[in-house]
Amino acid sequence: MIRCCKVRYSGTPQLATYQELSNFLTEVERRAYKQALFAVRDEHGALDIVQDSMLKLTEKYSGKPAEEFPMLFQRILQNTIRDYYRRQKVRSLWTTLLSSLTPHQEEEYDPLETLEVEDDSNRIHRPEETLARSQVVKLIEQALENLPARQREAFLLRYWEELDVSETAAAMGCSEGSVKTHCSRATHAVAAFLKSKGIEP
C-alpha cells in the first residue's frame, strides 16, 4: 500500500487545510492504533494513545504544511507511548504498594473474559484462505510484540509508515546508523519467528 501522504503532499509547502488533516488522520489512525497496541498490549490504552496523539497534532501542529504531518504525528505518537509507559510504571508501583497493604482481591479477575475476546476475534466461519492469512497476521503481530521496543519502533516507522531513514532517526531521536541496525535486526527476527512456526513470509 502506498501511503497517500507520500504522493499527495508534494511541491511547495502550504499550510494544511481541514480536509487534508482529516484525510491524514483517517489514513493513519488504524496503523497508529496497531503501533500503540504492539507497544502497550492493551486495547483501551492504545486507543487513548491514538486519541491523545491526534489531539496534540491538531492543537499544536495543524498550522504546519500537510507534508510534515507523518513525521510530526509519529514523533507525537512515540512520545505518547513513552508517557504511557511512565504512567504505567508509577501506577504499578502504587498498585504494588497498596495491594501489599490491602487483602487479596485476585478473585475479581476472570481469565475467561480474555478467552472470550480471543474466541470472538477468531472468525471461524470464513474461507480457509482468509483464516490462514489471519493466522499469519496474528503471528506477525506476535513477533512484533516480542521485539525489543526500539527495534519494533524502527521497523514500523521505516517500513510500515514509509518514513525514510533520516525521518525515522529524527522521530526516534537516534542516529541513522542505529535505525538501519534496528530495522535489519527486526526484519530478520520476525522472519526467523515465522520460519520457526513453519511459515515462509
Partner 1 sequence: MNENDLAKKITQHLDYGTSKLDGRVQFRLQAARQQALEAYAKPHHHFSLAWGGHSGRSGHHRGHSHFRAWLPLAVLLLGLMFITYWQTTDQMNDLSEIDAHLLAEELPFDAFIDTGFDTWLEGSSEE
Q: To 10 degrees, what angle do helices 69-101 and 18-40 make?
A: 40
Interface with partner 1 includes 190 (CB under 8 A)?
yes
CA angle in degrees (0–180, nearest 5) for 153-49-73: 60
Interface with partner 1 includes 36 (CB under 8 A)?
no
- Identify whether the C-beta of residue 61 lies closer than 8 Å to the C-beta of residue 72: yes
**Residue from 26, 95, 146, 175 binding partner 1 (CB under 8 A):** 26
- CA distances from residue 147 to 121, 131, 151, 152, 192 in whole angstroms, order as listed: 23, 25, 6, 6, 12
Q: Which range, of 46-54, 74-82, 84-92, 145-153, touches partner 1 by CB under 8 A?
A: 46-54
**Residue from 7, 11, 18, 105 binding partner 1 (CB under 8 A):** 18
**Residue from 142, 178, 181, 187 binding partner 1 (CB under 8 A):** 187
* Amino acid at position 190, single letter: V
- CA distances from residue 173 to 71, 126, 166, 178 in whole angstroms, order as listed: 12, 43, 10, 10
**Residue from 57, 71, 163, 171 binding partner 1 (CB under 8 A):** 57
Interface with partner 1 includes 68 (CB under 8 A)?
no
Q: Residues 93-122: x/- map of binding to partner 1 (CB under 8 A)?
A: ----------------------------x-
Helices (DSSP H) in the chain: which residue ranges? 4-8, 18-40, 43-61, 69-101, 111-121, 128-146, 149-155, 165-172, 176-196
Question: What is the contact surface with partner 1 in residues (CB under 8 A)?
Answer: 1, 15-18, 21-22, 25-26, 29-31, 33-34, 43, 47, 50-51, 54-55, 57-59, 62-63, 121, 133-134, 136-138, 140-141, 155, 158-160, 183-184, 187-188, 190-191, 201
